[in-house]
A and B are shown apart, each in its own frame.
Chain A
Amino acid sequence: MKSLGQSRLFPPLLVGLLLVAAWYALRHFLALEAFRLPVPHEILAAIWKERQTLAGGVRVTFLASLGGFFAATFFGLALSLILTASRTLRRGFLPFVVLMQVIPIIATAAIVVTWLDAGFPAIITIAFFIGFFPVVANTLAGLRAVPAEQLELFRLYKATPLQELFLLRLPTAWPYFLTGAQIAATLAVIGSVTGEIFAGSSANAGLGFLIISYRASFETAAVFAATALCALLAMVFWGAVRLVPTRFPAR
């Protein structure tokens, strides 16, 4: 029999239990009020009590993240293919692709809301912006990662530039693109929640909007509940992208 230390499940389970115990201990020994630090059973109760509102929030945030994710991967792949076709274009644009990645998403969100006004389109745009540049950076690296001998083989058989792009560079870049898409998947959730905090509305309340409205009414357990659902949503997104096969589906 394997010892408990060698098991894959046991160590994280133990750490999780210790953390929950520390959580309750903190509340008890520092004599904190429930609205400062709600404990897990209070958060679960809040999830149950607010289940309809939270379910609506999950739905809205899911759709915004999905829209932002698909826009980021589609346009990211398209821009990468265009930039690969021309060295001049690539050299011109690449520094700005890198630059865009280091702009804090909060700042981007503020600017997007100025342009598009508050609402769903602004939120999707923010989710798109945050995922777009990691997709471009990864895919471009992949499109440039073709081994020299494979390129020589294509040139030996007089392949056209388009054949080289779609039959060689794109399949080589596929796993790189998927890595970018995985990053975009979790970032899209961060982007849409950020967007909802800036541009959400009670008519179409996503998790980000719910977090600030619960906070305003000191329903801290519900804030924790909505936060936990954000994390869960991001993990589901990431996991779904992980399921895509890394071998390019070619025939």
Chain B
Amino acid sequence: MHPLAPHIETRGLRKAFGDQPPVLDGLDLVVEPGRIIALLGASGCGKSTLLRLIAGTLPLSGGAILFNGEAQAERPETAFIFQDPVLLPWLDTLHNISLPLRLRGMAAHERREIATERACRVGLGEALGRYPDELSGGMRMRASLARALTFSPGLMLLDEPFGALDAITRNRLNEELLALHARERWTTFFVTHSVTEAVFLADRVVILGGSPARVVDVVEIAFAQARSASLRTQIAYQQAVAETTARLYAVLPA
């Protein structure tokens, strides 16, 4: 378990942009440390907004987010993975990965050391000197992942990160993400549109719905053994996908 992986609770979470009707209202959620939560729901239902509220990049309109039971707690070290890799095109892989360290003023040789280790962890050890336009889509997303790991975060927020990749690369990155998670066990929120991805990754699938959005259903996903690529071919996995799909469709607007 990551020593700083937080317990997270949202109470009556509310978010409205300007004078618009609220996007989220009365959203309650409890997540134990080190768990992976998949957030499913219709497009535009507020999943990404929820992620940004937890990240602290958007201010709350009401309610509270409790970290380890405290409303005023210092925010845990948080990483955010976007839909796009969001790499800076003028920096090579090494310098893209070490960017967060540079922003906090770490010395150059320390940055290099940490960024090289993170790059190797995601399999980019050979691509340190290459620029984003010289990497494949999967490699760019790995670089984005490595950058998110620079500070050894306790909280990992992923906003539909693999949506633009082909199915094979996407499956492989799901497996790699689980392997990385097994090592540090960050508390994780994973926004996705894919039920198969949600069921493969998550301990719990949270379905958001309604307007304003609330938690409308929660599916616990428990598998007997540690998850690996072979899980995809098993009946238990297929059944969990079928059940989650049914419960998602039951709450989607017609």
Considering only residues 73-131 of chain A, those with a C-beta below 8 Å from chain B are none
B75 to A: closest C-beta gap in Å: 11
**A9 interface contact, C-beta 8 A:** no
B158 to A: closest C-beta gap in Å: 13
Instruction: Apart from A149-B86, A158-B104, A163-B103, list 12 A-B contacts with CB within 8 A.
Output: A147-B86, A153-B82, A154-B103, A155-B57, A156-B55, A157-B99, A157-B104, A158-B103, A247-B89, A247-B90, A247-B131, A248-B90
Q: Which residue of B lies closest to A152 (CB)?
A: B57
In the complex, the answer to whether A159 meets B86 with C-beta atoms within 8 Å is: no
Q: Which of A152, A167, A174, A248 is within 8 Å of B103, CB to CB?
A: A167
Q: Write out the residue numbers on chain B whose beta carbons fall within 8 Å of the beta carbon of A154.
A: 103
Q: Write out the residue numbers on chain B whose beta carbons fall within 8 Å of the beta carbon of A247.
A: 89-90, 131
In the complex, the answer to whether B89 meets A153 with C-beta atoms within 8 Å is: no
Q: Write out the residue numbers on chain B whose beta carbons fall within 8 Å of the beta carbon of A250.
A: 90-91, 95
A-B contact pairs, 17 of them (CB 8 A): A149-B83, A149-B84, A149-B86, A150-B86, A150-B88, A152-B80, A153-B80, A153-B86, A156-B78, A156-B80, A157-B99, A157-B100, A158-B104, A167-B99, A167-B102, A250-B91, A250-B95
Q: Which residue of A lies closest to B85 (CB)?
A: A149
Main DSSP-derived SS at the B contact region: loop
Considering only residues 206-251 of chain A, those with a C-beta below 8 Å from chain B are 247-248, 250-251
Q: Write out the residue numbers on chain A whose beta carbons fall within 8 Å of the beta carbon of B104.
A: 157-158
Interface readout for A7-38 with B: 1 if CB under 8 Å, 0 if not?
A: 00000000000000000000000000000000
| B residues lining the A interface (CB < 8 Å) | 55, 57, 78, 80, 82-84, 86, 88-91, 95, 99-100, 102-104, 131
- A contact residues, total (Cβ < 8 Å): 20
In the complex, the answer to whether A157 meets B90 with C-beta atoms within 8 Å is: no
**A142 interface contact, C-beta 8 A:** no
In the complex, the answer to whether A171 meets B80 with C-beta atoms within 8 Å is: no
Query: Considering the chains assembled together, what is the distance between the CA atoms of A147 and B132 in angstroms?
Result: 16
Q: Write out the residue numbers on chain B whose beta carbons fall within 8 Å of the beta carbon of A157.
A: 99-100, 103-104
In the complex, the answer to whether A171 meets B90 with C-beta atoms within 8 Å is: yes
Query: Considering the chains assembled together, what is the distance between the CA atoms of A150 and B85 in angstroms?
Result: 10
Q: Write out the residue numbers on chain B whose beta carbons fall within 8 Å of the beta carbon of A155.
A: 57
Query: Considering the chains assembled together, what is the distance between the CA atoms of A102 and B192 in angstroms?
Result: 51
A162 to B: closest C-beta gap in Å: 11
Q: Which residue of A lies closest to B157 (CB)?
A: A156
Query: Considering the chains assembled together, what is the distance between the CA atoms of A152 and B84 in angstroms?
Result: 12
**A55 interface contact, C-beta 8 A:** no
Q: Write out the residue numbers on chain B whose beta carbons fall within 8 Å of the beta carbon of A147.
A: 86
Q: Write out the residue numbers on chain B whose beta carbons fall within 8 Å of the beta carbon of A153.
A: 80, 82, 86
Q: Write out the residue numbers on chain B whose beta carbons fall within 8 Å of the beta carbon of A251.
A: 95
